[in-house]
Structure formats: C-alpha cells, structure tokens
C-alpha cells in the first residue's frame, strides 16, 4: 500500500503535463495564438500598403526621423500627437526617388509615453505609435 501512494503524485503530474500539451496543441491548431519574435508596433488603421520607416522609441531632446515611400511628387501629411496631446502638422512632397521624410525634435514639454503618428498619403490615413522616453 505504501508504494502505491508514492506513485500517485507522479502519475498525476504526468497526466497534467499530457493534458496541458493537448490543450496548447488545440489552441495553436485553431490559429488563436500567434507567436512572433519581432517587436511589434501597434497600429489602429487597416492595412493600407504604406511602406513606412518608423522607430519604435524616441528620446526626449533628440530628433526623430520617419519616412514613407510613395510615388514621386505625392503630397504627404504627418500629424504628430505627442503624449501631451497638442497636434503638430507637417507636410512634405515625395522626392524624385519617392520618399516623404519628416524630421523634428522631441521636446521635454511634450511629455513621455505613447505618441501617435498619423500619416495621410493620397487621401488614405494610417496611425502608428511611438514610445517617447526620457532615457533608454
């Protein structure tokens, strides 16, 4: 009788692991979980096909540069909404090689946290977020 009670915890542990593996396999096979090794920049806009170059983080008192690829001569608009909330509107026209580029300084008075970048190209808008930090 003594040997039987020592084997029960091992049996229950094995049973638990089998059940856990089965549960995870069911979730993954249904596509409910996606695994990604890449850092993700959240976006709230539907897929527009924009080709953007956006850093995930920016440092206060430093310059940030973002760009969008489009056709030459296209007017591009960027609205930057820092954590403090005031809107900074910047317009540019795509260069001969099709890039709209914006550069501005992140001021301390604009606060740290999440800032929004709202790109509008050819009447289509897409929103992205950038984390504003006081230090890295």
Digit-coded pLDDT (tens) for 92-123: 999 999 999 999 999 999 999 999 999 999 99
The DSSP call for residue 43 is: B
DSSP 64-81: EEEEEE--TT-EEEEEEE
Block means of pLDDT (10 residues each) for the chain, 136 residues, are 56 60 55 42 52 94 95 96 96 96 96 96 94 90
Three-state DSSP class for 44?
coil
Per the rule left: phi > 0, alpha: psi between -120 and 50, beta: everything else, 96 is alpha
Name every residue whose Cβ is closer than 8 Å to that of residue 33 and which is 6 or more positions away in sequence: 27
Per the rule left: phi > 0, alpha: psi between -120 and 50, beta: everything else, 13 is alpha
Name every residue whose Cβ is closer than 8 Å to that of residue 68 and which is 6 or more positions away in sequence: 50, 51, 52, 53, 76, 99, 100, 119, 121
The domain locations on the chain are 1-35, 51-133
The residue assigned the tokens 């969008």 is: 68
Q: Which fold has domain 51-133?
A: Immunoglobulin-like (2.60.40)
pTM above 0.85, yes or no: no
């Amino acid at each position: 009788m003594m040997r039987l009670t020592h084997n029960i915890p091992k049996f229950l542990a094995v049973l638990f692991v089998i059940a856990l593996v089965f549960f995870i396999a069911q979730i993954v096979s249904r596509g409910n979980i996606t695994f990604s090794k890449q850092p993700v920049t959240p976006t709230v806009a539907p897929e527009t096909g924009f080709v953007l170059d956006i850093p995930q983080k920016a440092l206060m008192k430093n310059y940030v540069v973002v760009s969008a690829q489009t056709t030459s001569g296209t007017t591009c608009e960027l609205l930057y909404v820092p954590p403090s909330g005031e809107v900074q509107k910047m317009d540019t026209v795509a260069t001969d090689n099709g890039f709209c580029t914006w550069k501005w300084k992140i001021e301390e008075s604009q606060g740290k946290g999440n800032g929004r970048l709202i790109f509008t190209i050819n009447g289509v808008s897409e929103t992205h977020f950038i984390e504003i930090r006081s230090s890295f």
